[in-house]
Structure formats: C-alpha cells, structure tokens
Amino acid sequence: MSEAPHGAPIKTPGQLIAAVIAGFAVPIIIIVLLAYYVDNSTRTGAGTDSLSEAEVTARIKPLAQVDVRDANAPRVYKTGEEVYKAVCSACHASGAAGAPKFTNTADWAPRISQGFDTLLHTALAGKGGMPPRGGTSPDDYSDFEIARAVAYMANNSGASFPEPAQPASGAAAAPAATAAAAASGAAAGGASDAGAAQAAAAMAAMASVPQTAAAPAAGATQSADASQAGKALYQQVCQACHAAGVLNAPKFGDKEAWAPRLKEPMDTVYNYALHGKGAMPPKGGSSASDADVKAAVDYMVSSVK
C-alpha cells in the first residue's frame, strides 16, 4: 500500500505545481480586487457622470424656488390680442361653459351695454363660469393687460371701447402715497369718473385684495400716513404671497393662520418680516424702508383683529 492516503487531491508533481501557483495567485487576485473595490467610490457606474457637479446640484436644489420680481423693473405689457389668445380664447373662442363667444355680437350686446368698467370688474373678479382674471394670477397678467383683453374681445364683438390707458409709468413703481391715494379713491367709489388710467391703477390696487381689506385698516394709534404706506407696500409686494397664502404664507384676513404667530411679541413678528423666516424673504424681497415694512405688517395684522 502506498503512503498517500486514499483520495488525496494531489497525486502528481504537475498537480503539486498547480496547487502552489494557485496558493500564491488566489490571495493576490483577492487583494487586487479588494484594493479596486475600496478605490471604487469615485467610479460609480462606469461611463456615467451622475456625480458631476451639475448633476449633483440639480439633485439637491431646493424644491420650491421663489422668483421675486423687481417691482420697479420696467414692464412690457402684453396686448389685448396676446392675452386673449393665451388665456381667454380657451373659453371665449368656442363659447365653452356659456362664455360670450368672441365676435358674436348677439352674445356680447347685453354685456357691452353694462359699460366697460362693469365688464372689467367681472373679468377681474369672476362671475359664474368665468374665473377671476380668466384663471390667471396678477403676477402673470396685470389688471391693465386683462383690461386690454376685455377691450379687445368686446371691440371685436360689437363694442367700440377706447384702448385702456397704460398705468402711468407702472402703478407698482409709483410712490407709495400715489398708489394708496388711488386705492382709497377707488374704495370711496370714485373710480368710474376718474380718468381711465387712474381707474386702471385703482382697480389694480383693489382687485386682488380680499374683501376684508375694504374695512379701514388704520389703527387708532397709527397715523393715517403710516397705515397708507403699509397698505401700499402690502399691495405692491406682500400680497404676491400673502393674499392667496402662496408657499404657506399666512393669508391676509385669515385669523387662524395668524393667531399662533401673533402669540409672539410684535417685535419678533416685525423681525421675521424684516429679516425673513423660512420661505418668507427679508422684506418680502423688496427694498422698502424698515418703517414701511413694519407698517405693512401692521396692515396685515389689523386684518385679523
């Protein structure tokens, strides 16, 4: 009987050599692979650039982005025809939902007889199946542009309204006092006999403010000037978010939304308005004076008292 035990794996010199080589080679291969694996972090998915700076920035960018527009930037207004084609034609071209049809004089005659101011008011405020501003936001189409669309539609359907006058160098850019004066003029019901431009500016100031704003906001302790400036700033800047509660901003006139915030001292609330908080940009993204921002806060707060 040979010395080698039965079933020993290595029986020939050739097998021995192979085993010795494998004994060296296998650990070396494993070490190489391990080293490669450790180094792997910089090489996710051969051929992709999923970790490139641009890709990463795109992935970690904030979900909601606030596009704060400069209220003083010169504005290019769309024509009535452009607004009509982009927005109003959705319903008014076919007469969908009972809308008076474009160029159909029979549909329009009784409406035109109400006068331009009434038509504009309906277009801005909505009525039955007609959504306020045709469903657009004041950020996208100013009151002036809506007014142009109304004139365009009506004039193509039997009316001969004059083209609405462009707000004097932008109602938004006018000094706060002017805007406030225009707004209070409108509130007093004097809009219809004022010039067309003033009416448009006043409508611009009024239309997007919730009804609660109609109540005089001046607190007993405030000077009329401060409250006017606050109201004007609110209308120019803050209402972009606070009128509809954009980005969860506490809504103008919404007691429930404001109550928890007003538990804090007024100085803290002013501070948030001046320096920002969450999605609330410092001063609402404007460059208004501290006093005006505080006045705007007072104006908003007075709506929930």
**Cβ closer to ligand HEC: 167 or 250?**
250
Comparison of 84 and 186: residue with beta carbon closer to ligand HEC: 84
Structure tokens that stand for 224 in this block: 């009329």
Query: How far apart are CB 98 and ligand HEC at their closest, in Å?
Result: 5
**Burial class of residue 158 (count of CB atoms within 10 Å of its CB; 0-12, 13-18, 19+):** middle
Is residue 114 within 8 A of residue 179, CB to CB? The reply is: no
- Is the Cβ of residue 55 or residue 139 nearer to ligand HEC in the bound state? 139
- CB 47, min distance to ligand HEC, A: 42
Rounded least distance, CB 215 to ligand HEC, Å: 19
Comparison of 126 and 190: residue with beta carbon closer to ligand HEC: 126
In angstroms, give the least distance from the CB of 266 to ligand HEC. Answer: 9
* Residue with smaller CB distance to ligand HEC, 81 or 178: 81
Q: Which is nearer to ligand HEC, 176 or 249 (CB)?
A: 249
CA of residue 187 relative to chain centroid, distance: 27
How many beta carbons lie within 10 A of that of residue 165, not counting itself? 15
Q: CA–CA separation, 85 vs 69, rounded Å?
A: 25
Q: For residues 292 and 98, what is the distance between their CA atoms, to the nearest angstrom?
A: 45
**Pairwise CA distance, residues 6 & 192, whole Å:** 115
CB atoms within 10 A of CB 271: 15
Query: How near is the Cβ of 105 to ligand HEC at its closest, in Å?
Result: 14
Shortest Å distance, C-beta 76 to ligand HEC: 17
CB-wise, 34 or 173, nearer to ligand HEC? 173
**Chain residues in the site for ligand HEC (CB under 6 A):** 66, 68, 83, 87-88, 90-92, 97-100, 111, 114, 118-119, 122-123, 127-131, 133-135, 146, 149-150, 233, 237-238, 240-242, 246-250, 261, 264, 269, 272-273, 277-281, 283-286, 293, 296-297
In single-letter form, the type of residue at position 34 comes to L
Residue 88 beta carbon to ligand HEC: minimum distance, rounded to whole angstroms: 3
The tokens describing 199, both together, are 């009416």
Q: Label residue 155 exposed, middle or buried (CB < 10 Å: 0-12, 13-18, 19+).
A: middle
Q: Within its chain, how far is the Cα of 44 from the centroid?
A: 38
Q: Do the beta carbons of residue 187 and residue 141 sit within 8 Å?
A: no
Contact 171, 204 (CB under 8 A): yes
Q: CB 269 → ligand HEC: shortest distance, Å?
A: 4
59 or 61: whose CB is closer to ligand HEC?
61
CA dihedral 108, 114, 117, 118 (to 10 degrees): -90
The Cα-based distances of 122 to 58, 109, 119, 128, 207 in angstroms read 43, 15, 5, 10, 10
